[in-house]
C-alpha cells in the first residue's frame, strides 16, 4: 500500500525510466552508493536500462559515501563534469542523444542542475529521494523472492499516523534518538514525536548537554562512544530500560512515518528494520569504503569462535549485497536483549583482540552495522520482520 505522494512519485518514476530507454547513451551523475545501486540492479537483472557510458561527479574528492570517488565503477569510467568536452570526444557521445540521470541525493539537485546547465547535456532526469526508495523497495522484494526469502514491508507513506484504533493502553514502547554534542546542527525542521526520546551519546566525554537522558547514567559504556558510535546509546537502553518494544534511531535518520508502530500495536511484527541497503560489490567489499580489512576479518573470526551458529550467515552476508544500515530498529524486549548479547559480545571481543593494532581505531566503529546485519539475517525466518523507509534530515 502506498500513500498518494508515493503513488505520484511511482508514476513519475515509471515515466522517467521509459523516457531514458529511448536514448542511445546514458550517463549517470554520481559515483556514490546510489550510482552503485543502479549498477547492481542492472547486473542482478532487475533494472532494464542501457549500460551507462560513464559516471559524472562534481569532483573526485569529498564524497560523503567514500574517501574518494573511484576512477571506475564496474569498469565504467568516472569523470569530473568539468571535463565534459574531453568525455564527449573520448566516448563519442552526442549530447542530444544522451540522457543524464542524476541519482545523487535530492539535497544536491539544485547545485548539480546549475553545473549541468553549463554543458551541452539537456536531456537531464532527476531521481528524487522517494523514487529511489521505491526502486529499492521493489528491488528488495524481487531479490528476496529470488533467494526464496520472506520480505515484508510497511506501507510507504510520509507523515505521522498516531491514532490507531488498535492501540493498547498497556503498550510500553519508546525509540531513543541518539545524538552527540558534536553533531552538525540541522537546518531542516524535525518534528517532535511522542514515541521518540532524545538520548545523548558520549555524554561522559563532555560537559555540554543536548538531551536530558544520557548514556552516562546507570550501567553504561559512554566512554567508548568515539569507537562505538550510537552503540553506546543502545547499550544504555539495553541495561537501563525494560519496555515492551524499544530501539534507537539517529538525530538525522528516523523512520519516515509513525505507521511502523501500527505493526507492533497490532502484533503483526516483532521487529521493524530500515529498508535494506543495496551495496556494491558485496557487504565485505562495501565495508572497505569505511573500515579496514583487518577489522572485518577479525569480526568473522570472532563470530566463528564465539558464535559458530552465526558463522555460515556471516559468510553469506559478506558475499551478498544486502545491508541493514545504521543500527536503527524497533524490537520486542526479548529480541532486543538477545541481539544486544550477540552484538556486544562480538564488537567487545574485536576491540580486545585489536587493541594493539596500529590501524585507525575509529575505523572499527562501522563494524557494528555488519554485526546487526548478520544477526537479523540469521533470524530472518524466526522473527516477523517488517522493513520501513527512513527519513534523512539535513
CATH code of residue 14:
3.40.50
Cβ atoms 274, 327 nearer than 8 A: no
The pLDDT tens digits for 34-58 are 999 999 999 999 999 999 999 999 9
- Is pLDDT at 338 greater than 90 in this prediction? yes
Name the residue range of residue 374's domain. 173-392
* 103 shares a domain with 67: yes
The pLDDT tens digits for 343-371 are 999 999 999 999 898 877 766 778 999 99
Tell me what pLDDT residue 362 has: 67
* 377 shares a domain with 241: yes
The DSSP bridge pattern shows strands 76-80 and 277-278 to be unpaired
Interatomic CA distance for residues 121 and 25, integer angstroms: 11
Confidence of residue 168 (pLDDT cuts 50, 70, 90): low
* 271 shares a domain with 363: yes
- Is pLDDT at 116 greater than 60 in this prediction? yes
| Residue 151 lies inside a defined structural domain of this protein | no
Interatomic CA distance for residues 96 and 113, integer angstroms: 17
| Residue 134 lies inside a defined structural domain of this protein | yes
Model-level pTM? 0.94
Confidence of residue 123 (pLDDT cuts 50, 70, 90): very high
Tell me what pLDDT residue 295 has: 94
Among 103-107, 187-191, 285-289, 388-392, whose mean pLDDT is lowest? 187-191
* 18 shares a domain with 78: yes
**% of the chain at pLDDT higher than 90:** 84
- Is pLDDT at 191 greater than 80 in this prediction? no
Among 57-66, 115-124, 177-186, 355-364, whose mean pLDDT is lowest? 57-66
Cβ atoms 390, 255 nearer than 8 A: yes
Tell me what pLDDT residue 158 has: 83
Average pLDDT, the chain: 93
Give the three cell numbers for residue 350. 574485536
Q: How many domains does the chain have?
A: 2
What would you report as the CA-atom Rg of the chain, rounded to the nearest whole angstrom? 22
- Between 168 and 379, the more confident residue is 379
- Between 339 and 360, the more confident residue is 339
Q: Is the Cα torsion angle 162, 163, 167, 170 positive or negative in sign?
A: positive
- Stretch 83-105: mean pLDDT, rounded? 97
- Is pLDDT at 381 greater than 50 in this prediction? yes
Tell me what pLDDT residue 62 has: 52
Tell me what pLDDT residue 64 has: 45
Alpha-carbon separation of residue 19 from 13, 23, 93, 177, 205 (angstroms): 10, 8, 18, 41, 53
| Residue 264 lies inside a defined structural domain of this protein | yes
Alpha-carbon separation of residue 299 from 214, 223, 234, 238, 386 (angstroms): 28, 22, 19, 22, 27
The DSSP bridge pattern shows strands 253-255 and 390-392 to be antiparallel
Amino acid at each position: 500500500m502506498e500513500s498518494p505522494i508515493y503513488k505520484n512519485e511511482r508514476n513519475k518514476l515509471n515515466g522517467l525510466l521509459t523516457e531514458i530507454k529511448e536514448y542511445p547513451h546514458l550517463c549517470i551523475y554520481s559515483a556514490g552508493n546510489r550510482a552503485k545501486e543502479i549498477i547492481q540492479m542492472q547486473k542482478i537483472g532487475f533494472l532494464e536500462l542501457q549500460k551507462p557510458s560513464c559516471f559524472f561527479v562534481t569532483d573526485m574528492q569529498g564524497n560523503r559515501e567514500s574517501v574518494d570517488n573511484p576512477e571506475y565503477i564496474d569498469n565504467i569510467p568516472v569523470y569530473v563534469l568539468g571535463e565534459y568536452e574531453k568525455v564527449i570526444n573520448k566516448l563519442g557521445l552526442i549530447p542530444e542523444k544522451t540522457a543524464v540521470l542524476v541519482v545523487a541525493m535530492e539535497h544536491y539537485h539544485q547545485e548539480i542542475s546549475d553545473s549541468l546547465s553549463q554543458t551541452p547535456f539537456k536531456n537531464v532526469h532527476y531521481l528524487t529521494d522517494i523514487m529511489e526508495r521505491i526502486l529499492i523497495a521493489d528491488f528488495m522484494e524481487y531479490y528476496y523472492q529470488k533467494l526464496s526469502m520472506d520480505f515484508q514491508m510497511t506501507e510507504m507513506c510520509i507523515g505521522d499516523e498516531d491514532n490507531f484504533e488498535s492501540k493498547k493502553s498497556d503498550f510500553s514502547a519508546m525509540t531513543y534518538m541518539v545524538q552527540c554534542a558534536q553533531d552538525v546542527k540541522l537546518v531542516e525542521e524535525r518534528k517532535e514525536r511522542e514515541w521518540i526520546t532524545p538520548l545523548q551519546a558520549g555524554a561522559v566525554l563532555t560537559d555540554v548537554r543536548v538531551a536530558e537522558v544520557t548514556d552516562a547514567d546507570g550501567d553504561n559504556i559512554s566512554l567508548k562512544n568515539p569507537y562505538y558510535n550510537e552503540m553506546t546509546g543502545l547499550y544504555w537502553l539495553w541495561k537501563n530500560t525494560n519496555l515492551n518494544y524499544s530501539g534507537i534511531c539517529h538525530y538525522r535518520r528516523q523512520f519516515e512515518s509513525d505507521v511502523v508502530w501500527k505493526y507492533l500495536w497490532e502484533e503483526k511484527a516483532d521487529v521493524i528494520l530500515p529498508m535494506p541497503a543495496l551495496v556494491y560489490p558485496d557487504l565485505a567489499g562495501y565495508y572497505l569504503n569505511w573500515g579496514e580489512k583487518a577489522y572485518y576479518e577479525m569480526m568473522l573470526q570472532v563470530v566463528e569462535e564465539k558464535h559458530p551458529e552465526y558463522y555460515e550467515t556471516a559468510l553469506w552476508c559478506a558475499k551478498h549485497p544486502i545491508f541493514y544500515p545504521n543500527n536503527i530498529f524497533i524490537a520486542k524486549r526479548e529480541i532486543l536483549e538477545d541481539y544486544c548479547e550477540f552484538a556486544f559480545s562480538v564488537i567487545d571481543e574485536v576491540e580486545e583482540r585489536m587493541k594493539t593494532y596500529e590501524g585507525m581505531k575509529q575505523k572499527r566503529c562501522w563494524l557494528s552495522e555488519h554485526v546487526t546485519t548478520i544477526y537479523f539475517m540469521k533470524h530472518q525466518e524466526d522473527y516477523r520482520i517488517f522493513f520501513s523507509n527512513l527519513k534523512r534530515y539535513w
